[in-house]
Structure 1
Amino acid sequence: MQWNAVPDSIRQEIEDTRAVPLIYVLGIIISLAHVYFNIFADIAVLQQNILHFAGFILLCGLLKPLSLQRHLAILDKLWVLAIAFSAIYLLFAEDLIYERGVRLVPLDWLCGSLVILGAIDMTRRATGWVIPILIVTAISYLAWWGNFVPGVFQFKGLSLETLLFRSIYGDDAIFGNIARISASFVFMFILFGAFLLRSGAGDFVIHLSKSIASRLVGGPGIVAIIASGLTGTISGSAVANTASTGVVTIPLMKNAGFSPRFAAAVEASASTGGQIVPPIMGAGAFVMASYTQIPYSTIVMVSILPAILYFASLVFYVRTESYKAGLTRTMEQAPPLLPMVMREGLSFIVPVTLLIVLLVMGYTPTYAAVIAIIAVIVSSWFTPNKMGLAAIADAFALGSRNMVVTAVLLCSVGLVVNVIATAGIGNTFSLMITEWSGGSLLVALLLVAVASLVLGMGLPVTASYIVLATLSAPALLQLMANVELVNALSSGALSADVQAILMLVGVSPEQGAMSVAEAQALINDMPDEMMALLRPMLLDENQLSMLLLAAHLVIFWLSQDSNVTPPVCLCTFTAAAIAKSPPMATGFTSWKIAKGLYIIPILFAYTPLAQGDWLAAFQVFIFALPGLYAFTLVMQGWQKRQLKHWERAALAVIALVLLSPIAMAWQIAALVSLLAAVFYIGRGGKRASEWRLS
């Protein structure tokens, strides 16, 4: 069997899976069943979701046993089987429950309770204690203690029978919409990633990155950025991305002279960015498509320019650190680009390109993923790592194994989302954000950022996004729509219907166009009923849809920050372990390097960067790119020499103008100023190495 192009970490994972034949065979069966469900079968969504849950409960129980002692292990396996068979029973019991007028018999109670307890237990095994505690807290809120909460969050409670029924069969429950996304889009893309990894795409990504970046200043760091970004299109997991590419890129950066702390921080920041790189943007992107009802292909397309901005900001940090540390030499012995691509790259480039083309053409993500998987197999025969039946079986088993944590998490978090939807907590929380922000979109963004950081300390990124989107997306959408309404009102081009509504609130057409301040004051004071009438008159349906997407992208990006922001930052801690650097110090460095995760969401909120207008988005991109460079110089205090205080202050003003939604004339002036400043600094100062010699 061809192993040469398969990364060591993937090879070890496959060998571990093969070592337990039951896990290997079950993984293959689960993968084949999901391909059948998604492409060929015509079965009810509930059936697919329950079988998805039952299969991964079995696999999770085998991969993460409660005990290795013989007697306890037998009891544990019986417990896992009881959970899976209880789920299957609930599949056949649904019609009978409706025939009884939604009344549960003792066997319904037993199986429903076992499924919920099993989901809590498996989630604890897969992710730790935080999500199980959150599930128990949420369910008990509906059943009991919500009645004792004062104020707007008080909930009178549900009967235990109603609570159990809604937790199982509700649209947002354990077998609801999020489980459907997990069983279809997410699994198929994870499986596609497994085929890419088994075909040797991991090593190709590293070689491609070296060929591209070998002659650039800070080449080893740029290799890490490119490799982690490309690997992110395969793995769909930031921590897995860090572990798989970090073992290669971190030693590469350390050998080039970067400090272990900086090397680990670059790898963690780049791996986190892998979750925002199209076409595979982690499970959260599929949830976003379901929540917003916007095609996944649209989400992918509008995410291209923001992803480039984020990775460009990382490159800027690496280059300035290279100058700061005097590391201006390039890498050596980089493989020639074209021969390497022709020899190794077909099984990566052809399937990924085909996947993107199919998504743009409007094919469903599941269909596109299956065609791309077939393309991986076919194209591998034109590379040294040909995929035969054994390799295909490995990929099927690896795909199921890689999906275990995500599947258990997404199904179980449905229990929390069900509580939020049932109790109306989402609407209440959104109203509170609107009230606390005082109508300020910037303050609302800060509140969401703080909430995402707090949630991210205990929840995985996808769960953090799901909870935060459910709670705060409506508030962000309203505030972002208000910004567009202010722009429309201050333009002066108002229809007769709009003028009639404005007359009801004391604004006469004879007053002429309003100033921005007057329009903002009018929006803040206008009753909600009037706003509901005015909004569709000034903003068309497509504009509101893209504003909704932008609001969700804000939350999606901010949800990534917990990977690189102390005190709990799993990506950074993983990278620090590889680099042997202090975890917390590395965390603060990665937090600084990954500042694009905070800046770019502000662009989503205030500019057309993610609103579907490519010309307007490219205009934002053109000025945001140098703006991020100027911001990096301010943060680092270095270009080709150490910057003086007044130079950093001037660059801060330039960065603010380039990143702000103001008149283009001001941004052009700021861009010219930045070019002049870089030329002045480059000609007028010494490099770091010259400082050391003097």
Structure 2
Amino acid sequence: MSKITIDNQINDQQVEIIEKYDKEQKTRSFDKASLAKGVYWAAVIISLYHFITSFVGAPATLKHRSLHVSMILFLSFIFYPINDKASRKKLPLYDGIFAVLSLGITLYVWIDYPNIIARAGLINTMDMIVGTILVVLVLEASRRISGLPLTLLAMAFIGYALYGRNIPGIFSHRGYDWASLVNQFFISTDGIYGTSVGVASSYIFLFILFGEVMNKSGMGKFFNDIALALAGGSMGGPAKVAVIASGFLGSINGSAIANVVTTGAFTIPLMKRTGYSKEFSGAVEATASVGGQLLPPIMGAAAFIMAEMVGIKYSMIIVYAAIPAILYYLGIIIQVHLRASKSNLVGLPKEELPRVKDVMRERGHLLIPILFLLGMLFFSGKTVVFSAFCSIIVTVITSMFKESTRMSVKDIIDALAGGAKGTVSVAMACAIVGIIIAVTSITGFGLNMANAIIQLGGTSILATLVFAMITCMILGMGLPSIPAYLITATIAAPALVKLGIPVVAAHLFVFYFAMFANLTPPVALAAFAAAGLSGGDPMKTGVASVKLALAGFIIPYMFVFNNELLLLDTTWTIALRVTITSIIGVMMIGTAIEGYLLREIPLVLRVASFIGALLLITANFFQDIGGFAILAILILQQVLKKKKGNMRTHSSY
């Protein structure tokens, strides 16, 4: 019997689902060979610029960021049609003009750079014209790539900056004219060319390119096959495979919806085959794919921005995020296992599964680049950008060890082109969010919003956290993960910091809930994409996703009240104790949701189990005792019920 393996190649149906739920993937595919080849090589050149400057050093900040944004704008108007009805095979003249105008902006910055610096924020007529064109192009490119919500939000903030003096109450400000805004958006490094674009032009671009190179070497297939080999034969195996494979892949590629469709196209039918419902199968894939951006070492792209905003090393973000991410995935796996136990869902036949030693022999060497990257980040003392540069080269070299993973020259060039194309949506989101952040900063909106959240919460930190969570999830609805995090980090995180919550914990808190907006109805894009594959009801899949991710909704509260989970200012002894009690707490959440441990659990004990879980996730020793007492009662009830059941079975004979 042939072995089961996961093919990472996507078919037309998968492409259709990705494009339906992820507007960022809906790009042109030119029918004219010369045009397609020209765009391909333009993307290769853009990647080479970022790759080379990561080694030799980038030009002056404003020059480098303006060039990066112009190149991204150029690709935006080349790849993304004006609307869904426009041709995706041809490039209309107006988009060609927009693309040329995009490059003209950086040309102006480079030529007039000495005068821009000399004017020190005093803009002239030409600055006004070019800056206005830049703002319009960024808004239009964002509309095409991410859809209307983010663009309308940016326009609302521009309107607020212009007319906020007419707003009564705490959100009123002195007002700004268009010249002041253009100055902020265009010729400073606090607007469109701000921190988020700085991160996109360095860390994010390099790591997306790293992901493309790893994908070309066959890393995706390795993750899928090792997940099959490790978990495929266990109880409810296909669901566990989906969790493990989607977690690893999501950490590297950072796209929840693309991850749902590529991995889910294989794992969802396997889950249904072993007895999971359509909605539960889709929910497993959705929750695992969204969580990839919470999982070190790569964490999609938001971790790089977080490191810059918080002002700490990226390697430390990896350390702080590790235990909460493991708890999140553990919570999913526990529910998956309990559901399989309750329904007696067996795993896949062993003879159909690849063997661990065979997978490691064939592709295990592909782990070398990841280990090398971690070594560079933690022990080399080199920059993150240089570490990514070296890791890309190591990946190419490592791929040569086996014929099955060996990259050809075309594979390497394709990875360069794919890296540039894959960065467009992220970098464009960073550019438009620069407008929102600039307005938030100069008008004092962020500080006022933080005060409003604190006032709503009163003196209760818990109430303030709840209001911050609601704010994050509303702002995150329908937005890509990067702008969702950037906006919530600008608006909600300062409120938590003002309450004395460590800045890292505050940013991770808003990051979690910005990500979970992809799972929660009514706008649950990852869950809806999974339902498109499973054939399940989209809303029911969304509800099932929330249940599966429930531990993830509680974990941010855990590390806010339990900084030891982030390994902040603690000893290893205390951190280990808190981690163990948190793991048990996550297990009790799973039993409460599924209503099952060794046997069915009565409703009263399900509620008690949930309460016990909440007691165990705090660092308070006496509350831990209460949680363990409830756990003991639960286990005793289950053991006695099991014995009673066995006695009845025995007496029936």
Whole-angstrom CA distance in 2 between matches of 1:77 and 1:331: 55
Match runs of 1:7-22 below 5 Å: 7-9=8-10, 20-22=36-38
Q: Find 1:38's aligned residue among 54, 61, 64.
A: 54
Q: CA RMSD in A?
A: 2.6
Q: CA deviation at 1:617?
A: 2.7
Q: 1:338 to 1:139 in 2, by over 3 A?
A: same
Are residues 1:167 and 2:188 paired? no
Letter in 2 for 1:667: D
Shift of 1:321: 1.3
Counterpart amino acid of 2:610? A
Question: 1:123 maps to what in 2?
Answer: 142
The equivalent of 1:465 in structure 2 is 485
Distance 2:90 2:589 in 1: 60
| Alpha-carbon distance change, 440 to 296 in structure 1, aligned in 2, over 3 angstroms | same
CA, structure 1 residues 422+10, in 2 after alignment: closer, same or farther (shift >3 Å)?
farther
Q: Which amino acid aligns with 2:624?
A: Q
What is the aligned counterpart of 2:521 among 566, 569, 585? 566
Alignment partner of 1:674 is 2:645: no
1:201 aligned onto 2:226: no
Q: Does 1:555 align with 2:484?
A: no
2: CA distance, partners of 1:38 / 1:683? 64
Give 5+ residue unaligned stretches, structure 2: 16-24
In the alignment, which of 559, 563, 575 is matched to residue 530 of structure 2? 575
The answer (yes or no) to whether the contact 2:551–2:589 under 8 Å persists in 1 is no
Out of 581, 594, 597, the position equivalent to 1:639 is 597
1:42 is displaced (CA, Å) by 4.3
User: Deviation digits for residues 615-671 of structure 1, max 9, x if unmatched?
Assistant: 1333211101111111111112222432112322332232122112311x5525633
Counterpart-to-counterpart distance in 2, 1:268 and 1:71: 34
Q: Could you tell me which of 198, 210, 215 is aligned with 1:180?
A: 198
From the superposition, tell whether residues 269 and 41 of structure 1 become closer, same or farther in structure 2 (CA, over 3 Å): same
Q: Give the counterpart of 1:338 among 357, 365, 374.
A: 357
Residue 610 of structure 2 corresponds to residue 610 of structure 1:
no
2:641 is matched with which residue: 672, 678, 684? 684
- Offset of residue 40 of structure 1: 0.8
Q: 1:81 to 1:209 in 2, by over 3 A?
A: same
Q: Which blocks of at least 5 consecutive residues in structure 1 are unaligned? A: 482-546
**Equivalences for 1:350-369 in 2 at 5 Å?**
350-361=368-379, 362-369=381-388
Mapping of residues 88-107 of structure 1, within 5 Å:
88-100=107-119, 102-107=121-126
* Secondary structure of the structure 2 residue equivalent to 1:230: helix
Q: Verify the 8 A CA contact 1:558 1:597 in the aligned structure 2.
A: no
Q: Deviations over 1:400-429 (max 9, x none)?
A: 111110011111110110000010111111
Structure 1 range deviating more: 243-252 or 609-618? 609-618
**Per-residue CA distance 1:524-544 (angstroms, 9 max, x = gap):** xxxxxxxxxxxxxxxxxxxxx
Q: Report the Cα offset of residue 324 of structure 1.
A: 2.7
1:272 to 277, 286, 290: 290
Does the CA-based 8 Å contact 2:30-2:90 persist in structure 1? Answer: no
- Judge conservation of contact 1:202–1:231 (CA < 8 Å) in 2: yes
Kept in 2, the 8 Å contact 1:322–1:328? The answer is yes
Checking the alignment, whether the CA contact within 8 Å between 1:563 and 1:572 is kept in structure 2 is yes
CA distance in 1: counterparts of 2:458 and 2:55, whole angstroms:
49
Q: Deviations over 1:362-398 (max 9, x none)?
A: 4322111112111211111122120121111111111
Q: In the aligned structure 2, how far is the partner of 1:97 from the partner of 1:651? A: 64
What residue is the counterpart of 2:67 in the other structure?
Answer: 51
CA distance in 1, matches of 2:354, 2:639: 31
SS in structure 2 opposite 1:563? Answer: coil
Instruction: Name 1:64's counterpart in structure 2.
Output: 80
The answer for the alignment partner of 1:429 in structure 2 is 449
Partners of 1:211 and 1:338 in 2: CA distance: 9
- Looking at structure 2, the residues matched to 632 and 577 of structure 1 have their Cα atoms a distance apart, in angstroms, of 26
Tell me which amino acid in the other structure corresponds to 2:112.
A
Report what 1:498 is aligned to.
Answer: none
1:185-584 equivalences in 2 (<5 Å): 185-332=203-350, 333-347=352-366, 349-361=367-379, 362-383=381-402, 384-481=404-501, 547-584=502-539
Check if 1:588 corresponds to 2:543: yes
Shift of 1:289: 0.7
Quick check: 1:619 aligned with 2:574? Answer: no
Question: Bigger CA drift: 331-340 or 47-56?
Answer: 331-340
SS at match of 2:307: helix
More displaced, 91-100 or 172-181? 91-100
Alpha-carbon distance in 2 for matches of 1:249, 1:380: 26
TM-score by length of 2: 0.90
Q: 2: CA distance between counterparts of 1:99 and 1:367?
A: 32
Residue 109 of structure 1, CA deviation: 2.2
Letter in 2 for 1:9: I
Q: What per-residue deviation string (whole Å, max 9, x for no partner) do you get for residues 315-374 of structure 1?
A: 011011112322134543221102211212212x11111111111114322111112111
The amino acid of 2:605's aligned partner reads: E
Give the deviation of 1:264 after TM superposition: 0.4
Structure 1 residues 270, 351: closer, same or farther in 2, change over 3 A?
A: same
Distance 1:258 1:5, change over 3 A: closer
Q: Which amino acid aligns with 1:369?
A: A
Q: Identify the range of structure 1 (416-425 vs 394-403) with the bigger mean alpha-carbon deviation.
A: 394-403
Deviates more, 1:214-223 or 1:607-616: 607-616
Query: 1:530 aligns to what?
Result: none
Distance in 1 between the 2:6 and 2:233 partners? 24
After superposition, the Cα gap between the structure-2 partners of 1:95 and 1:574, relative to the gap in structure 1 and judged at 3 Å, is same
Q: Indicate conservation of the 8 Å contact 1:6/1:200, yes or no.
A: no
| Counterpart Cα distance in 2 of 1:71 and 1:307 | 44
Name the CA shift for 1:70/1:379 in 2 (closer, same or farther; >3 Å): closer
Supply the distance in 2 between the matched residues of 1:5 and 1:200 (Cα, whole angstroms): 11
CA contact (8 A) 1:219 1:331 kept: no
Q: 1:550 to 1:179 in 2, by over 3 A?
A: same
When Rg is computed on C-alpha atoms for both structures, the one with the higher figure is 1
Distance 1:226 1:471 in 2: 33
Residues 134-153 of structure 1: per-residue CA shift (max 9 Å, x gap) = 1111112212x211100111
* 1:495-549, Cα deviation, whole Å (9 max, x unpaired): xxxxxxxxxxxxxxxxxxxxxxxxxxxxxxxxxxxxxxxxxxxxxxxxxxxx211
Query: In the aligned structure 2, how far is the partner of 1:114 from the partner of 1:329?
Result: 58
Q: Which amino acid aligns with 1:290?
A: E
What is the match of residue 114 of structure 1? 133
Q: Distance in 1 between matches of 2:90 and 2:250?
A: 41
In the aligned structure 2, how far is the partner of 1:393 from the partner of 1:232? 23
Separation of aligned partners in 2, 1:48 and 1:41: 10
Q: Please say if residues 181 and 286 of structure 1, whose CA atoms lie closer than 8 Å, have aligned partners that are also in contact.
A: yes
1:151 aligns with one of 169, 175, 179: 169
Q: TM-score, normalised by structure 1?
A: 0.85
Amino acid at match of 1:596: A
Number of the residue aligned with 1:137 = 156
Check whether the contact 1:639–1:682 (CA below 8 A) recurs between aligned residues.
no
1: distance between equivalents of 2:260 and 2:87?
29
CA gap 1:5/1:251 in 2 versus in 1, 3 angstroms: closer
Deviations along 1:233-268, one digit per CA (max 9) or x if unpaired, are 220222222122111211111111111110100000
